[in-house]
Amino acid sequence: MKVLITGSCGLIGSEAVKYYDKRAELVVGIDNNMRAEFFGPDGDTTWMKRKLETECENYRHRPVDIRDQKEVSEIICELTPDLIIHCAAQPSHDLAARMPFVDFGVNATGTLNLLEATRRYVPEAVFIFMSTNKVYGDSPNRIKLRELKTRWEYDDTRYERGIPEDLPIDQSLHSLFGASKVAADILVQEYGRYFGMKTVSFRGGCLTGPRHSGAELHGFLSYFFKAATNGRCYTIYGYKGKQVRDQIHSADVISAFDAFYHNPKCGPVYNLGGGKENSVSILECIDRGEQLLGVKINYEYSEVNRVGDHICYYSDLTKFKGDYPEWSIRKSLDDIFEEFLKPH
């Protein structure tokens, strides 16, 4: 088995490298550390590249830009992978507005380059795409909510388990990042449905874990703990700090990927997050963080929310669990919080 992983030094990519290094004869990672360009020192993944090259004997690193069609094609042609896990992305709402061509180039054109090379050279390979819940735009904000002491919560029985895959993705405000990911998400579906390829889009909630190079503009929980442990001032943007996200550990993401790899379909989409049980608001994060750290967390509040940001979002996992009943969330919210405080 040979595996190609893009964004191999990021959170999900590095977790995939670690997992498949023990199961594949060769794992090739594509990552040119654009995260450092996007987010500065907080986002730099050099430390993870060194860790992977030291600890993973079957790993080979390629510092390639996925916008380069020729290089992407050559890698896939030479490697002929059985599995492609595509995690590379420009992941920030705010940065997308500042660099729209870079954002669309990485997220949409880069995905097209990978899909077309897969179709040309290894059409039987399984192609797994790490999409995002931002493809729904701000549609989740139209769902009736009720305000509780520390969080917003859905006040509509249709969404008591969270957001399902049939929530409309158009006629809403996405941010340019959301729009570029929609383009990629639809391309992945189309290569599955039109060409009969084994492709899938996983629309992630908050993906997290200590392998994350979290920055203020991306990587909420990782950056939160980085700020809390280093005494930085953490900024809450709008919604009274009661905005809710579901947290899923990177290891649980990869186990979902592997379940699909062993029983692939053509072009499905799945929402993938921690679900209601692993959902948490910023105020609740602060409270739990203070309990774990034994200190007051320094934070400030801005009335201005991020454009297109969700007030409340957690994933309805019914569809994926129905298709892959052997899969389940293994890492609880407490597990995730406590792991951030361990030395790595």
Residue-wise pLDDT tens for the chain (344 aa)?
999 999 999 999 999 999 999 999 999 999 999 988 888 888 899 999 999 999 999 999 999 999 999 999 999 999 999 999 999 999 888 899 999 999 999 999 999 999 999 999 999 999 999 999 999 999 999 999 999 999 999 999 999 999 999 999 999 999 999 999 999 999 999 999 999 999 999 999 899 988 776 666 566 788 888 888 888 899 999 999 999 999 999 999 999 999 999 999 999 999 999 999 999 999 999 999 999 889 899 999 999 988 778 999 999 999 999 999 999 999 999 999 998 877 55
Amino acid at position 93, single letter: H
Distance, CA of 133 to chain centre: 9
Residue 197 falls inside a structural domain: yes
The total domain count for the chain is 1
Q: Give the domain range for residue 97.
A: 2-142+160-212+248-278+314-332
Residue 306 falls inside a structural domain: no
For the record, the structure tokens of 296 come out as 């007051």
pTM: 0.94
The confidence score (pLDDT) of residue 169 equals: 96
The confidence score (pLDDT) of residue 344 equals: 53
Q: How many residues does the chain have?
A: 344
Residue 51 falls inside a structural domain: yes
The confidence score (pLDDT) of residue 177 equals: 95
Give the Cα separation of 334 and 270 in Å (integer). 25
Q: Is 129 exposed, middle or buried (0-12, 13-18, 19+ CB in 10 A)?
A: buried
For the record, the structure tokens of 200 come out as 């899938």
The confidence score (pLDDT) of residue 20 equals: 98
Residue 337 falls inside a structural domain: no
If phi > 0 it is left, if psi is from -120 to 50 it is alpha, else beta; for residue 226 that is alpha
Residue 187 falls inside a structural domain: yes
Give the Cα separation of 41 and 36 in Å (integer). 6
The confidence score (pLDDT) of residue 285 equals: 92
| CA-CA-CA-CA torsion sign (89, 90, 92, 96) | negative
Other Cβ atoms within 10 Å of 60 Cβ, number: 13
Residue 340 falls inside a structural domain: no
Residue 321 falls inside a structural domain: yes
User: In 7-16, which positions are buried (b, 16+ CB within 10 angstroms) versus exposed (e)?
Assistant: bbbbbbbbbb
Contact by Cβ (8 Å): 318, 161 = yes
User: Which CATH number fits the domain that encloses residue 93?
Assistant: 3.40.50.720
Residue 114 falls inside a structural domain: yes
For the record, the structure tokens of 73 come out as 């094609």
The confidence score (pLDDT) of residue 212 equals: 74
